[in-house]
Amino acid sequence: MKVLVTGAAGFIGYHLSQRLLDRGTPVLGYDNINPYYDPTLKRARIAELESTAAQTGTPFHLIEADLEDNVALEEAFELHRPRKVVNLAAQAGVRYSIENPAAYIQSNLVGFGHILEGCRRHSVEHLVYASSSSVYGGNTRMPFSEHHSVDHPVSLYAASKKANELMAHTYSHLYGLPATGLRFFTVYGPWGRPDMALFLFTRAILAGEPIQVFNNGKMIRDFTYIDDIIESLIRLLDKPATQDPSFDAANPDPACSWAPHRVFNIGNSNPTPLMDYIHAVELALGITAKKQLLPMQLGDVAATAADTAALESWVGFKPNTSVEDGVARFVAWYRTFYKF
């Protein structure tokens, strides 16, 4: 059963595609290999996927195109007939959304609309799509639960992810498309994005440069290791969303629906102070970081924490990799890949 993975050259898309190929599931990758960060890393990920496909004998094919290119996307659906779709392609980054909002509107809204139409026209059996913990916005009630309101985003990135959830729910209602949204919490690990904290910290420390520590280090994040993200994603992909017969339209719960649509938090449920995370990097590298303390950045939040009871109930799994183990694995990969 072929799976279309958009953003296959990205961090999560690469790891998901590897897992699918390893278990014998054909993968149709779709990615524009844009220069938001170094395309060399994206090309290296694709080379790894092609190597895995050759070794396992499981088909992998990459289409280089934008989600906004509806002709290319429709052709992909028409020629390859994927039965399931995992949409991980998006313009990422909270801070960049303040500098370049148009990129988010095109990729995260227009592009996602094209994905939904492709799924509808070609009777896709299950759409799984990336949302984000950022949808909780200005909420301070912890841990974040799918039952909580997400009506107060603090960045356009967050707003675009909430819009994706609303759009997917509408298609589930109108066309019976099973759709599952994934609210990722601060994903990290080998082959990660160079614009994220762990990559930036590791690079700067090895170069003897100070690391930028926002909100004077008074931040908490539910750091979630990539392998736990992929295990959750695979299990959810294999168990499509269904209608919830307990949904009460007179007292609607954001966590459920009469339509075959669900959203799940995917986090480690172990919120970690930023300074502890930095200490784990220092231990893994054997170097003490020089720290530049800075104020909170616009669009950011002070803390995140995931309630993953719904995920565990639905698929029998919850992320559990410790920050110390996960950071050490990233540092080992970084030293190997960049030859430090």
pLDDT in tens, 92-143: 777 777 888 888 898 899 999 999 999 999 999 999 999 999 999 989 999 9
**Per-domain boundaries in the chain:** 3-337
Predicted pLDDT of residue 12: 98
User: 84-87 and 3-6: which strand pairing?
Assistant: parallel
Please name which of 297, 302, 235 lies closest in space to residue 266, comparing C-alpha atoms.
Answer: 235
* pLDDT tier, 276 (very low <50, low <70, confident <90, very high otherwise): very high
Once rounded to an integer, what is the mean pLDDT over residues 212-235?
97
Of the pLDDT bands very low, low, confident and very high (cuts 50, 70, 90), residue 322 is very high
Question: Pairing state of beta strands 272-273 and 220-221?
Answer: antiparallel
3-state secondary structure (DSSP) of residue 167: helix
Q: 3-337 adopts what CATH topology?
A: Rossmann fold (3.40.50)
DSSP readout, 46-90? HHHHHHHHHHHT--EEEEE--TT-HHHHHHHHHHH--SEEEE---
Q: Taking Cα atoms as reference points, which of 60, 49, 25 lies closest to residue 238? A: 25
State residue 141's pLDDT score.
Answer: 95
Categorize the per-residue pLDDT at 211 as very low, low, confident or very high, splitting at 50, 70 and 90: very high
Report, as an integer, the average pLDDT of 183-205.
97
Of 157, 188, 277, 334, which residue is the catalytic one?
157
Q: What is the mean pLDDT of residues 238-253?
A: 95
d(CA 144, CA 159) in angstroms, rounded, equals: 17
- Whether 157 is a known active-site residue: answer yes
227 Cα distance to chain centroid:
12
Q: Which of 227, 340, 212 is nearest to 284 (CA)?
A: 340
What are the tens digits of pLDDT across the range 150-164?
Answer: 999 998 999 999 999
Cα(6)–Cα(82) distance, integer angstroms: 12
pLDDT in tens, 11-40: 999 999 999 999 999 999 999 999 989 999
Question: Model confidence over 234-244: pLDDT tens digits?
Answer: 999 999 999 99
Computed on alpha carbons and rounded to an integer, the radius of gyration of the chain in Å comes to 19
